[in-house]
Structure 1
Amino acid sequence: MLQNYLTIAMRNLRKHKTFSFINILGLAVGIAVCLQILLWVVDELSYDRWNEKFDRIYRVAGEVKFGGIHSTFAVAPAPLAAALAEDFPEVEAVVRFRQQGSFLVKSRVQNFKENRVVFADSTLFKVFSLKMLQGNPDQALKAPQTVVISKSMAEKYFPSENPIGKVLRFDNDQRYNVTGVIEDMPVNSHFNFDFFCSMSTLEESREQIWLSFNFHTYYVLRKDANQQAFAAKLFPQLLSKYIDPQLQQVMGKSYAELEKSGTLFKFPIQPLKDIHLKSDMDVELAANGNIQYIWIFGLAALFVLLIAVVNFMNLSTARSALRAREVGVRKVVGSQRSALIGQFLSESMVLTFFALFLALLLSWVALPYFGQIAGKKLLFPWTSPLFWTSVLLGGVLIGLLAGSYPAFFLSGFQPISVLKGRFLDSSKGRNLRSGLIVFQFLIAIFLISASFVIRGQLGFIQNKKMGFNRERVLVINDAYALENNLDAFKKNLKNLPFVQNATVSGFLPIESSRSNGSVCTTPSVQEESCQIIQQWEVDEDYVPTLGMEITKGRNFSPDMPGDSSNVILNEKAAKGFFGQEDPLGKILYFQTDMNDEGKLNQRVYTVIGVVKDFHFESLRQNIETLCLTLQRNAGNISVKLSATDLPAALLRMEQEWKKVSAGAPFSWQFMDESFDEMYRAETRIGRIFNIFMVLSLLVACLGLLGLAAFTAERRTKEIGIRKVLGATTPSIIGLLSKEIIRLILLAFVIAIPVAWWGASQWLHNFAYRIAVPWWGFILAGLMAVSVALLTVALQSIKSARMAPVKSLRSE
């Protein structure tokens, strides 16, 4: 029986090659899109699950509301780890990470810039499942000035040697003994480092300040412990034993008193498995994903697949009249309805598995290109039993879904009516096809609209005035490597004919590391007089080099030695501290470290200027308070260029660098490139939505093409008669197209409110955004109508130009 089903199915596919091709290609594209997105989603959901204890590992974060500023940090106070280990028996192990930026690392002669460096406690291997290849995991990071390196770094710095016991120099003056080698970390981790330096090296790791947040802190909960109960008692116990006494010393108030006035101090707890997709705090170890995009891409891929399935159902039900006599004859000779259902479902399954084979081929070919767009290296899981089981089950499900309605619809024909020639395409069938066409183009218009909105927001970001000039600003990294030669190098740069200006600073107005601190208008620390504010250390050339505007007062001057005790505020900070008063000449008290008596040390600054607000974070956030102080921070050298011959300018600057750098690599990037990196996720979304838009239209139009061909075939005699009576080709085209256009217009009316709501929700991720562009929805509708009309017209023209005699002879 099954062999008979398959034989007949293959005959029908060969007999109707055009319709078979359209169905197979449409389904293949839909399945291929789903496979690509599924691989990406699985990769996103797999982050950090390589840890053996991933379901018991948690990160303690920080949340502070003080001086009207509400901030969340992925870091916690230094003494928290010891308190967790000593005071809470539910905790099995604790580890801290501390990042301090990039380092210049060398083993013998050549320096290499390494960004993936972190300081970690010796308990690292008790929390995370890092595979130790050489060394003792219990002892490797206990001593100061020790480091555990990855296998790839061991091969890089000590080729063909045993690295254990060897020395690496960090920034030319810090010696670290290699005590261990680990397997390279999995890519699907929310942190990824090649160098783990011993935490005991850092003096700040032993500080007992509970009001400062610098350390990423993770703990493992014991198997028999309850996380909810532990979380409920964590903060109250820490508050009473450690935090409240320190608050009393610093601010003269208890936490309860501060809480009444709006001050907040909490320790949110995050499961390790949620960090990559659900955490977007300040000071993350790396850029995380977004659970919203999992849903967005998943739904978009599902929509494309549904459009392909709808095509199959549409064409199958449309061709029902052509197979009506076949069904009638089969029933007369004794075929049961169940046998007919089996026959039509087998045809659906054969077609689906042809499409599935083609989809696997398309996915394999397209995966590297999709990986480039998505920013991942995705591999096709050819050897995974789970993958193949899922693919086969998915193919069966799609085949059943696509073929179920046609099977039950066709098998329900009454043989007497059919054989007497009384069968007509029922209104029920026509209504179903109309509804499916509306559904297809509703999705297509939604995706086109989304693409326009994303493109509009990205254009707004690119063209918005940011309060500084990032064009032709070259950022030279690792200025600290020049040591005592830094000032001479900067002077040499400024003397070059193609350099307009140059500045040395540790902070730039692009998303990077930040320096938060507490600043008050009074010597005493009180919530009504203090704010959490960004404190950037710059030189006197910072403002002019980046094209910022001083709106009040003056910039720092090299002719005024006292400027090291002066400060420039942005407009937001000036208004926050002094309201409508003139801020010039006012005194501010900067809180620094804590002294032996438990009091915060202070530095006193005088306001000499106000800089116009500029965006120093992405447009997702509002501009916050910020101040500039004249302090040495040799992080980067920003160079404003006027040269048109950039390669020659870069070569000359590299030559100047090599004269004074003692072998440090010349590393640079343009500021506008770094600025664009802040919106990498949105750029990728835009590209992927463009692909979805094209594919959804392609698949929908394949269905329209098949439907138009079938409609023209059904109405061949009618077209011939109309032409004999004087109908023109344009009128015939209009006759065959008007119903399709009406349905697409209905899809447009339904899609607009849905697309408008979706666009509004996405744009709310940005503090600075465009208005929802009404023109984008109109253009989306026009595109859908135009493409559909062109598709139908191509088939209609062929039918309309057929000779009437030939049309009237057709059966």
Structure 2
Amino acid sequence: MLKNYFKIAFRNLWRHRVFSFINIMGLTVGMTACLLIFLYVRFELSYDTFHPKADRIYRMVTDLKTPSETIHPSGPAWAVGPHLQFDLPEVEAFTRVNYDNLLVRKGDIKFNETGTIWADSAFFSIFNFPLLKGDVRTALVQPFSIVLSETAAKKYFGKQDPMGQTLLVTGEGKPALVTGVMKDMPENTLIKSDVVMSITTITQKFWKGLDDEWGSYGALTYVLLKPGTYAQTLQKKLPAFLEKWNGKEMRSSQMFPTLLLEPLKDVYLKSTRDDSKGNMMNVYVFSIIALFILVIACINFINLTTARASERAKEVGIRKVAGAVRSQLARQFIGESVIICLIAFLLTLGFSSLLLSSFNQLAGKIISTGIFSNISLLFLLLGIALIIGLLAGIYPAFILSAFKPIMVLKGRFATGAKGSILRKSLVITQFAISTALIIGTIIVYSQMKFMRSRDLGFNKDQVLVVETNGDNKRETLQKLVANLPNVKSTTLSGSVPGGGHQGAYSQVENAKGDLQIANLDLYFVDFDYIPLYDIKMAAGRPFDRTYKTDSNNAMILNEAAVKILGYSSPAQAIGRRFKQWGHEGQIIGVIKDFNYHSLQSPIKPLTMRMEWDRFRLLSVKVNPTNVQTTITAIEKLFRTTIPNRPFSYYFMDEFFDRQYRSEERFGRLFLNFAALAIFISCLGLLGLASYSTMQRTREIGIRKVMGASVSNIINLLSKEFLKLVIISFFIAAPVAWYFMNKWLLDFAYRTSISWWIFAAAGTLAVLIALLTISLQAFKAAIANPVKSLRTE
């Protein structure tokens, strides 16, 4: 009996090859897209969950309240970590993590290791970054201890054993002892680096007393709680902890920190701090898209399966007359449906394996090395495929098998209104989803275009930035580069737009004449910075070499800083007093606000001052002609002037635009999966149009004999489906507006959702549907009516 079921099933598939192909391919494409999205979502949700102690690890962050604002630095004061275990028995261990760029050398091998981590000795005990060589307890205890990843160890030592050998670090060439080799950190962690150095190098050698600094912020602090300890218990004790160690300084500086605990597993997607790289909204969006694609594929499969069910009514009648019982017929139809779904599942595995590498590139990260590395997801998808097969098989199994054989064999069988209503409802559902995705795609790309075209308030074109790492020969290099023929101008600075900034405890005279305390962003710049980046002045003047006091006693504010000081116009701030980091003086100018962060962040209050020992970046404005020749000349001067450092440069426009890479990847992924959803919908519509045309063959033949034109026939066959598509648009438009408006709220500067977006999406949906239907309609319209009526 089972063999007979399979034989009938495959015979039926082959007899209706076109329908079978559409059914299987639609479901395959849907499940393939769904599997890839599930892999992506699962990867995003897996960040830092692989640590065995992850449930007990928390990141400690700070809300810093000043008289002007509340600031949200990523980490607490440097002194918090070392003092935790004195008063708080809930804390088992702590580690600070501070990121830096570090020059590392071994002979002629030299690299500027971006993202180097400085960490406390408990780093490898708290986090699961296994050491292949070395002791986790002692590897980071002594100053100038360095732990390398496998990749970094091979880079500097080749096949030699690096343990106990030395590397030269920083521009001064300080010897660092290799005390460990760790496995390369996985992709799904925010704490990622190839070089980890002991933080005692900073606190005992470079900046003694830093462990007792309560006013210096920057290093991330992670705490490991003891087993059975609740984070809320520790949280309640933190205000008293701060009052004990820092109360007097808080009141004198008028800066009041609040310590907060973030679960490690939540940091990547849910933290609002600057170093959080993920986006929970994007995870939700892709999860919904995966669900939508799967729903569309299911709708197609169920629609086509139920639409073809009426063709098998006579088969049901004959088999009932031959003695088949209803349960046997039900098993036959369900079995056929499940077989088709299993075929689609096997094809999904093959397609997913082939596409995974391309999908990794599209996502910008290695989300999976192979689909079989996520067996649980495959079993989930298999379960979904079986459920789809069961759902699609229920209609023919329990509806057709219930018909009386005498009525069916006499030709009195009709599909009835219920089946038609079901199919129309499903078509409306899938095209509502497709239209919503079209609207979403247009909005995503409108936002990307808006971000690209918005005036940032500064000029980033044709600016080359060279990393000098503050080398003491940087001014000599600047003078030599400035004399090159294709160089227009140069400037030294501590920061460039989009490249980070200092946060500085500041006292600036406000509109009431008081020195207002605030933690303001700070750029260290020289005389030529403002003109080179074409930043516009709102009042006053830029730094000027003819004023000797500008080098030490002058400050420039942006318009956002002027507002928080209570001035009604930028001109009112000129000549007012300031105190900042041991410097005092007057405000000499106010620049117009410019976006020194990405457009996801609002423009914050910014100050600019000159401190020559803070300069590390050389910006070079170059002519657009012979750019490569100019770069070669600059490199030659760099290697001659600063021979101990690697030559590293980037173009300012490319560097600033990197901030939008995640949004661009999101846009590309959204577009690709929206296109797949539309493709699957069109497959289903094509199948239904083919079936509808076949069912109305006699009607079409009669109409043609009665004088109907080709356009009349096409209109007849198309208008029914186009009505459904139009209905789906009115369902999709408000839903798409609601969700995309929520997505846009993540951007401080965003495009508006205009009416034309909906008009374009609706028109596109209608055109796609019309093109899909018209092929079948045209074939039916030009068919010879004699052939259609010959058998009647």
Smaller-chain TM-score range?
over 0.9
AA in 2 matched with 1:166:
Q
Q: Distance in 1 between matches of 2:7 and 2:659?
A: 57
Q: Distance in 2 between matches of 1:313 and 1:104?
A: 62
Check conservation: 1:453, 1:773, Cα contact below 8 A: no
| Structure 1 outlier segments of 4+, above 6 Å | 525-528
| 1:451 aligned to which of 441, 447, 452 | 441
- The alignment status of 1:166 with 2:159, answered yes or no, reads no
- The alignment status of 1:515 with 2:502, answered yes or no, reads yes
Structure 2 counterpart SS, 1:802? coil
Deviation at 1:24, TM superposition (A): 0.5
- The alignment status of 1:569 with 2:550, answered yes or no, reads no
Q: Residue 244 of structure 1 aligns with which residue? A: 247
| 1:266 aligned to which of 258, 264, 277 | 258
Deviation at 1:383, TM superposition (A): 5.5
Deviation at 1:387, TM superposition (A): 4.5
Q: Distance in 2 between matches of 1:289 and 1:3?
A: 52
Describe how 1:415-430 pairs up with structure 2 within 5 A.
415-430=405-420
Q: Distance in 2 between matches of 1:466 and 1:49?
A: 38
Deviation at 1:625, TM superposition (A): 0.5
| 2:219 aligned to which of 215, 220, 242 | 215
Deviation at 1:76, TM superposition (A): 1.1
Q: Residue 604 of structure 1 aligns with which residue? A: 584
Check conservation: 1:66, 1:527, Cα contact below 8 A: no
Structure 1 counterpart SS, 2:716? helix
Q: Residue 314 of structure 2 aligns with which residue? A: 325
Structure 2 counterpart SS, 1:116? strand
- Give CA deviations for 1:282-336 in whole Å, capped at 9, x if unaligned: 3x2xx52122211111110121121111111111221222111122223333333
Q: Residue 379 of structure 2 aligns with which residue? A: 389
Q: Residue 628 of structure 1 aligns with which residue? A: 608
Check conservation: 1:62, 1:213, Cα contact below 8 A: no
AA in 2 matched with 1:451:
T
| 1:373 aligned to which of 359, 362, 365 | 362
Q: 1:332 to 1:526 in 2, by over 3 A?
A: farther
- Give CA deviations for 1:555-608 in whole Å, capped at 9, x if unaligned: 112232211210111112123225126211111122x3xxxxxxxxx4212111
Q: Distance in 1 between matches of 2:791 and 2:119?
A: 82
Describe how 1:32-71 pairs up with structure 2 within 5 A.
32-71=32-71
Q: Residue 107 of structure 1 aligns with which residue? A: 106
Between 1:118-127 and 1:661-670, the stretch displaced more is 661-670
- The alignment status of 1:535 with 2:522, answered yes or no, reads yes
- The alignment status of 1:230 with 2:234, answered yes or no, reads yes
Deviation at 1:21, TM superposition (A): 0.2
AA in 2 matched with 1:557:
D
- The alignment status of 1:664 with 2:664, answered yes or no, reads no
- The alignment status of 1:616 with 2:596, answered yes or no, reads yes
Describe how 1:81-100 pairs up with structure 2 within 5 A.
81-99=81-99
Q: 1:264 to 1:448 in 2, by over 3 A?
A: farther
AA in 2 matched with 1:120:
A
Q: Residue 487 of structure 2 aligns with which residue? A: 499
Q: Distance in 1 between matches of 2:396 and 2:369?
A: 37
Describe how 1:274-289 pairs up with structure 2 within 5 A.
274-282=266-274, 284=275, 288-289=277-278
Q: Distance in 1 between matches of 2:225 and 2:192?
A: 23
Between 1:691-700 and 1:17-26, the stretch displaced more is 691-700
Q: 1:189 to 1:786 in 2, by over 3 A?
A: same
Check conservation: 1:317, 1:409, Cα contact below 8 A: no
Structure 1 counterpart SS, 2:518? strand
Q: Residue 451 of structure 2 aligns with which residue? A: 461
Structure 1 counterpart SS, 2:323? coil
Q: Distance in 2 between matches of 1:574 and 1:237?
A: 35
Deviation at 1:635, TM superposition (A): 2.2
Check conservation: 1:111, 1:665, Cα contact below 8 A: yes
AA in 2 matched with 1:771:
S
- Give CA deviations for 1:199-250 in whole Å, capped at 9, x if unaligned: 111134734233432221111111122232222x232321331232322444
Q: Residue 123 of structure 2 aligns with which residue? A: 124
Structure 1 counterpart SS, 2:565? helix
Q: Residue 620 of structure 2 aligns with which residue? A: 639
Structure 2 counterpart SS, 1:77? coil
Q: 1:746 to 1:491 in 2, by over 3 A?
A: same
Deviation at 1:732, TM superposition (A): 0.3
- Give CA deviations for 1:457-493 in whole Å, capped at 9, x if unaligned: 111111111110111111112352xx33211221222
Check conservation: 2:231, 2:261, Cα contact below 8 A: no
- The alignment status of 1:786 with 2:773, answered yes or no, reads no
Q: Residue 774 of structure 1 aligns with which residue? A: 755
Between 1:397-406 and 1:714-723, the stretch displaced more is 397-406
- Give CA deviations for 1:71-111 in whole Å, capped at 9, x if unaligned: 22221111211232221222211111122x21221111232
Structure 1 counterpart SS, 2:753? coil
Q: 1:675 to 1:125 in 2, by over 3 A?
A: same
Deviation at 1:150, TM superposition (A): 1.4
Q: Distance in 2 between matches of 1:766 and 1:585?
A: 35
Between 1:271-280 and 1:714-723, the stretch displaced more is 271-280
Q: Distance in 1 between matches of 2:260 and 2:327?
A: 59
Identity of aligned residues (%): 39
Q: 1:810 to 1:53 in 2, by over 3 A?
A: farther
Q: 1:491 to 1:406 in 2, by over 3 A?
A: farther
Q: 1:134 to 1:456 in 2, by over 3 A?
A: same
Structure 2 counterpart SS, 1:265? strand
Q: Distance in 2 between matches of 1:677 and 1:408?
A: 57
Deviation at 1:371, TM superposition (A): 1.0
Deviation at 1:278, TM superposition (A): 1.1
Q: Distance in 2 between matches of 1:754 and 1:7?
A: 46
AA in 2 matched with 1:279:
S
Deviation at 1:388, TM superposition (A): 4.3
Deviation at 1:809, TM superposition (A): 1.5
Deviation at 1:758, TM superposition (A): 1.4
Aligned residues: 781
**Unaligned residue ranges in structure 2 (runs of 5+):** none
- Give CA deviations for 1:652-699 in whole Å, capped at 9, x if unaligned: 222222221214222111111122211112111111111122111111
Between 1:156-165 and 1:605-614, the stretch displaced more is 156-165
* RMSD over aligned Cα atoms: 2.0
Q: Distance in 1 between matches of 2:508 and 2:384?
A: 65
Deviation at 1:798, TM superposition (A): 0.7
Q: Distance in 1 between matches of 2:638 and 2:181?
A: 34
Q: Distance in 2 between matches of 1:452 and 1:460?
A: 12
Q: Residue 259 of structure 1 aligns with which residue? A: none
Deviation at 1:385, TM superposition (A): 4.5
Q: 1:49 to 1:330 in 2, by over 3 A?
A: same
Deviation at 1:417, TM superposition (A): 2.8
Q: Residue 471 of structure 1 aligns with which residue? A: 461
| 1:546 aligned to which of 533, 547, 556 | 533
Check conservation: 1:90, 1:225, Cα contact below 8 A: yes
- Give CA deviations for 1:246-292 in whole Å, capped at 9, x if unaligned: 224444xxxxxxxxxxx76311211111111112303x2xx521222
Q: Distance in 2 between matches of 1:551 and 1:704?
A: 59
Check conservation: 2:525, 2:615, Cα contact below 8 A: no
Q: Distance in 2 between matches of 1:86 and 1:417?
A: 89
- The alignment status of 1:579 with 2:567, answered yes or no, reads yes
- Give CA deviations for 1:601-654 in whole Å, capped at 9, x if unaligned: x42121111111101111122111101101222321111122223222222222
Structure 1 counterpart SS, 2:308? helix
Describe how 1:272-421 pairs up with structure 2 within 5 A.
272-282=264-274, 284=275, 288-377=277-366, 378-382=368-372, 385-421=375-411
AA in 1 matched with 2:154:
E
- The alignment status of 1:486 with 2:478, answered yes or no, reads no
Q: Distance in 2 between matches of 1:808 and 1:493?
A: 87
Describe how 1:751-762 pairs up with structure 2 within 5 A.
751-762=732-743
Q: Distance in 2 between matches of 1:613 and 1:711?
A: 62
